[in-house]
Structure 1
Amino acid sequence: MTRKFLDEAYNHIGKGIEHFYNDWAATYETEVGENGYVTPARCARLLAAHQKDRSLPVLDFGCGTGLSGLALRAEGFETIDGMDLSAEMLAKARTKNLYRSLLQIQDDAPPPFAQGDYDAIAAIGVIGPGAAPLDVFDVLLSKLAPGGLFVLSFNDHALEDPAYAAKITDCVDKGLLRVLEQEYGPHLPARNINSTVYLAEKL
């Protein structure tokens, strides 16, 4: 029987998550595709609605096998860099010839780019249980210059914890960002899992 990684993904926490995604890389696209994964397209559409110059560089953080890169490219984004923990996921992304650069990062090291290097950062299906911790939100936001755009999603598993939605509200209250779009809709429809997609501007 083929291993169903989605059955495990949301309960996978702590160190070694890159090994979990390395193991999943070969079947990831088939499995999420069978479940109707639509969050990348939703995020890319929102970003495209607000980023008029689509030649400006976009960071696809947690790019995985490149499904989010495909969605961004479909919306006309020309210059996309990808970063991920998983070498095997990155190998799959590399075959798509979507990215200007692809870089493996470490979960215990700061992202290797400077504030303002990217006019937009995408963290699509990246922050939540079984994936990146919530503090990655703060790290990525800090790397945007004022006026930079941040598109991300929190799925239902993340939103069960009020800390996720509260993170957005807290940043708005502190004057760190402005939410331009917020849309609750399908994530993995075959599993009846939804997500909230946010498009925010760094202040």
Structure 2
Amino acid sequence: MSRPEYTAPPEVFYNESESRKYTSSSRIQHIQASMTLRALDLLALPPNQFILDIGCGSGLSGEILTKEGSNVWIGMDISPSMLATALDRDVEGDLFLADMGNGVPFRAGSFDAVISISAIQWLCNADTSAADPKRRLARFFDSLYSAVRRGGKVACQFYPKNDEQTSSILAAAKSAGFSGGLVVDGEESRKNRKYYLILTSGSVGADDINLDGVTVDKQKAVHRKKGAETRKDYIKRKKDVMRKRGKLVALDSKFTGRKRKTKF
């Protein structure tokens, strides 16, 4: 069976019929829910976050965002039919029609966190001669870095075609300024393997960021209470959890597809 991204552009492939078929499938609902829950588990977000759902489709992942932690969310997708299906289902989030390959069109520092389920692999596909995957990836991650507040987190579950696509995605995220890495669940099973790109935009007190003339002022450092967990200890603890639950490949390491342990 051909991969959807090699069949037609997403706004064409996910027409009215395909959108309703996709959304009504109990199998798809289960898979989307499990991957969204896994992404939230990896992010370890506090409740009541303002979250952007990239490639939100008909709102299946958004429903999980609402149920888990009473989060407020905005969903963006390139398919009008998918968004129309989401409206018919009366999902809780606000919906925005946009192509992620043209960038994330929100004001700098808008979101506490971002998730994307089964979407960013489309950036690696050139639907027209003018669509350069490398440039689309760069625009996406550069604008995403700006849209997330300092210290904000990102989880992108995706299906790469090959190791080259994975390396291109990791390189674009690193070039944009993100830190983080790749968690691979079910690495021993090609059929059930899941890739999660887990990123952070930095820490409180990082340098200003700019996008199209918009500047986010530097935030003041947060003073820790005596005896509170330090940032270094927190990062070490999260690394240990992530290593136990999935293989971690750091952004500053070359992805080869071979089994190995790589430091974050």
TM-score band, normalised by shorter chain: 0.7 to 0.9
TM-score, normalised to structure 1, is: 0.74
**Residues 154-169 of structure 1: pairs in structure 2 closer than 5 A:** 154-157=158-161, 159-161=163-165, 162-168=167-173
Report the equivalent of 1:192: 191
- Does the CA contact (< 8 Å) of 2:54 and 2:100 recur in 1? no
Do the aligned partners of residues 92 and 197 (structure 1) sit closer, same or farther apart at CA in structure 2, a change above 3 Å counting? Answer: same
Do the aligned partners of residues 140 and 128 (structure 1) sit closer, same or farther apart at CA in structure 2, a change above 3 Å counting? Answer: same
Do the aligned partners of residues 153 and 34 (structure 1) sit closer, same or farther apart at CA in structure 2, a change above 3 Å counting? Answer: closer
Once residues 163 and 143 of structure 2 are traced to their aligned partners in structure 1, the CA distance between those partners, rounded to angstroms, is 20
Once residues 195 and 76 of structure 2 are traced to their aligned partners in structure 1, the CA distance between those partners, rounded to angstroms, is 22
Would you say how many aligned residue pairs link Structure 1 and Structure 2? 186
Aligned pair 1:11/2:6, yes or no? Answer: yes
1:150 counterpart letter in structure 2: V
Question: CA RMSD, aligned part only?
Answer: 3.2
TM-score, normalised to structure 2, is: 0.59
Other structure's SS at 1:148 match: strand
- Does the CA contact (< 8 Å) of 1:84 and 1:103 recur in 2? yes
The Cα of 1:59 is off from its aligned counterpart by: 0.8
- Does the CA contact (< 8 Å) of 1:159 and 1:165 recur in 2? no
- Does the CA contact (< 8 Å) of 1:10 and 1:157 recur in 2? no
Report the equivalent of 1:40: 36
Other structure's SS at 2:58 match: coil
- Does the CA contact (< 8 Å) of 2:62 and 2:93 recur in 1? no
Report the equivalent of 2:200: 201
Query: Identity, % of aligned pairs?
Result: 26
Q: Which has the higher contact order (CA 8 A, sep 6+)?
A: 1
The Cα of 1:8 is off from its aligned counterpart by: 4.0
Aligned pair 1:83/2:55, yes or no? Answer: no
Q: Unaligned stretches of 5+ in structure 2?
A: 126-135, 203-264
Report the equivalent of 1:134: 137
Do the aligned partners of residues 72 and 117 (structure 1) sit closer, same or farther apart at CA in structure 2, a change above 3 Å counting? Answer: same
Do the aligned partners of residues 156 and 193 (structure 1) sit closer, same or farther apart at CA in structure 2, a change above 3 Å counting? Answer: farther
- Does the CA contact (< 8 Å) of 1:45 and 1:75 recur in 2? no
Aligned pair 1:178/2:217, yes or no? Answer: no
Report the equivalent of 2:223: none
Report the equivalent of 1:74: 67
Q: Could you tell me which of 70, 82, 98 is aligned with 2:91?
A: 98
Q: Unaligned stretches of 5+ in structure 1?
A: 1-5
